[in-house]
Amino acid sequence: MDTFDGKSSCTNKNALIEEQSLESFSKVVKHAMWVIPLLAFIFSSLFVLIYYQGFEQLFPIRYDAKNWESLRGQFGALGDFFGGMLNPLLTFCTILMLIFSLLLQMRELKATRLELQRARGAQEDQASEAKKQNKITLDQTKAINAQVEALKEQTTAQKSAQEEQAAEAKKQNKITLDQTKAINAQVEALKEQTTAQKNSSNQLRLQYLVDMIRFEENVVTRTLNMQCGDYQLKNWEKATIVDCSTGSAETMKQGAELKNIIENSILGQHKILNQMIDTHLDDKLTQMFIYRVIRNTQQLISKHGFFLKNDNRHEFIELLEDNANALTDDHFLDLRNQALKLAILIEKSTFSNEAFINPV
């Protein structure tokens, strides 16, 4: 390839030299093509001038000729003179111009040949370069194909790995889902157990509070059935229980103690009821005892006058108001109004001694 490049470079150099030589020779021929005719014209004019000076006239005159034969002879001599002098001159000039033309054509032909060789060399260079480029392109194509194949293999491997990972992830997700379900089931079971325990605990506490209310009710019932003076306490007049102003001092002292026991027991019932309302208001047993305790308290106050004109009744009034305000549902409206009325009644102590003078 280097040898070919050297040869091509040499050919290009020769062609360049030949082009310069041809250009110079073309200028010479160009000048010669108008110089030669000019010289021929000058020489022809010179010959005519010489002829004219030698024979005093250029063309024969008819009246000078003795006869027509002599005139034709003069014209023949004139033709021979010009033919003998101008023909070689013009022929020589023509031959010179022909030689210059042939030389120019030969130079141009040589230049054309060199140009063709240079064009062929350029074409060969282009063909060689194209071949080289084709080889490079082919190598690149092979390399790209190899890369594509490698990429395909890599993609296939990655796809297989991703499928395996997806399968493994799916398996792990299933295991996790099963574990989550099991944990949720355990949580639900624990919640149910906790709820059951809480409900059981709530039920036990509610039952405990109910038992305490029942105990306080029994205390009230037993205390009312106790003998105080000539009568049981439940048969005392209301004014007597309110003012503790009838009977002997010992009897009234005993009555005051029994009254205090009953009032503390009623207060205890409402304290317990307050706890039941705070924690177990929705329970039917709580609702039943709300009705029961308020009605029993209303009967005890209306019948016997407990808490009336009692300096320590303010705690009971607050409990009644708190329990009444907690009963916001519509089906507790009647009980709420009764509790508020009792609180107002006890606070104002509207009962008078005259109003409760009749025995029960």
Q: What is the pLDDT of residues 230-245, one digit of tens each?
A: 666 667 666 566 555 5
Residue 55 belongs to some domain of the structure: yes
Domain shared by 142 and 248, yes or no: no
Domain shared by 114 and 232, yes or no: no
Contacts 24+ apart (CB under 8 A), 118-125: 118/11, 118/12, 118/15, 121/7, 121/8, 121/11, 121/12, 122/8, 124/4, 124/8, 125/5, 125/8
pLDDT digits (tens, 9 = 90+) for 249-296: 777 777 778 888 888 888 888 888 888 888 888 888 888 888 888 888
User: Which are the contacts of 78, defined by CB distance < 8 A and separation ≥ 6?
Assistant: 59, 60
Domain shared by 260 and 146, yes or no: no
Domain shared by 238 and 143, yes or no: no
Q: Are 326 and 281 in contact (CB under 8 A)?
A: yes
CA-based end-to-end distance of the chain: 145
Q: Which residues on neighbouring strands pair with residue 227, listed in sequence order?
A: 232
Domain around 80: 2-150
Q: Which of 103, 123, 150 is the last residue of a domain?
A: 150
Residue 193 belongs to some domain of the structure: no
Residue 204 belongs to some domain of the structure: no
Q: Are 255 and 236 in contact (CB under 8 A)?
A: yes
Nearest-CA neighbor of 36 among 89, 111, 106, 110?
A: 89
pLDDT digits (tens, 9 = 90+) for 47-79: 777 766 666 555 555 555 455 566 666 666 667
Q: Which of 150, 169, 201 is the last residue of a domain?
A: 150
Structural domain count, the chain: 2
Q: Is the pLDDT of residue 98 over 70?
A: yes
Residue 165 belongs to some domain of the structure: no
Which amino acid, 219?
V
Domain shared by 145 and 239, yes or no: no
- Is the full-model pTM beyond 0.85? no
Domain shared by 10 and 96, yes or no: yes
Domain shared by 135 and 24, yes or no: yes
Residue 216 belongs to some domain of the structure: no
Domain shared by 134 and 20, yes or no: yes
Residue 256 belongs to some domain of the structure: yes
Q: Are 233 and 224 in contact (CB under 8 A)?
A: yes
Domain shared by 145 and 229, yes or no: no
The label of the residue with tokens 């106050």 reads 301
